[in-house]
Amino acid sequence: MKENGLCHRAALQPDAQHMEFAFLELNPETGVVDMRVQLPDMEIRNDVEIEVANWTLFDFDLASFTVATPHLDNPPEGFGFGMALLWAEPSTQDPFFWMGEVTAEHVGQGERLGAITDEYLLTGSAFENDLSTGKEGRLWLAADDGHVVDAIMPVPIHPG
C-alpha cells in the first residue's frame, strides 16, 4: 500500500485482516528513502539514497514493478530500472541498500505459465553485489497488458 510517499508492507492474517510491519518513506528533495521494519522481537531502521528515478523495491515480491510495467512506452525496445533491497536480517549492518541498475533486453515472445509473454534478459550492476549467485536474470511480461508473469533473479529476495 502506498499513501503520500509512504509505502507499507503488510502480512495477511486470518479473515483477510492484515498487519503492517514495514514502512518506507521517500524524501523527494534528497532522494533518500527511510525504512522501518517492525519484527516481533525488534525494530530495524535504515535509509538508502535512490540513484535513479525509475526504480523498484526488489524484495516486496516485485509488487511495485508489476504496477509499472504495463506503462512502459515500447517494451520490445527494452528498458532499464534500478533496484533497492530491504534485507530484514537483524545481524545485517546495512539492511536497506541500493543494489544498482538493470537493463532488460527483449529476447522474444512465447508462452510462459500459460500466458503469451515477452521475455527479457536482465543484466546490470544490481547483480554484482555479495548476495548475487549469477550475473543475469530473466523476466516474462504478459504480452497483452505488461504485468509480470514470472521472473528469475540471481539474487535472493529475503533471508532464508
Q: 32 Cβ partners below 8 Å, 6+ apart? A: 26, 47, 48, 49, 50
Q: What is the mean pLDDT of each run of 10 residues along the chain (160 residues)?
A: 46 65 84 84 84 81 84 92 81 83 97 97 94 94 94 85
Cβ atoms < 10 Å from Cβ of 5: 11
Q: 53 Cβ partners below 8 Å, 6+ apart? A: none
What confidence score (pLDDT) does residue 52 get? 85
What confidence score (pLDDT) does residue 2 get? 40
pTM over 0.75: yes
Q: What is the C-alpha separation between 121 and 106, in angstroms, rounded?
A: 7
Residue 27 has, within 13 A of its CA and on its CB side, a CA count of: 10
In three-state secondary structure terms, 57 is strand
Instruction: Please identify which residue in the block is written with the cell numbers 541498500.
Output: 97
Query: Contact, 106 vs 60, CB < 8 A?
Result: no
What confidence score (pLDDT) does residue 120 get? 98
What confidence score (pLDDT) does residue 60 get? 65
In 3D space, the residue among 92, 123, 118, 124 whose CA is nearest the CA of residue 106 turns out to be 118
CA distances for 140 relative to 3, 29, 64, 99, 120, angstroms: 29, 34, 16, 21, 6
Q: Cα 73 vs. chain centroid, distance in angstroms?
A: 20
Amino acid at 140: W
Query: Contact, 46 vs 35, CB < 8 A?
Result: yes
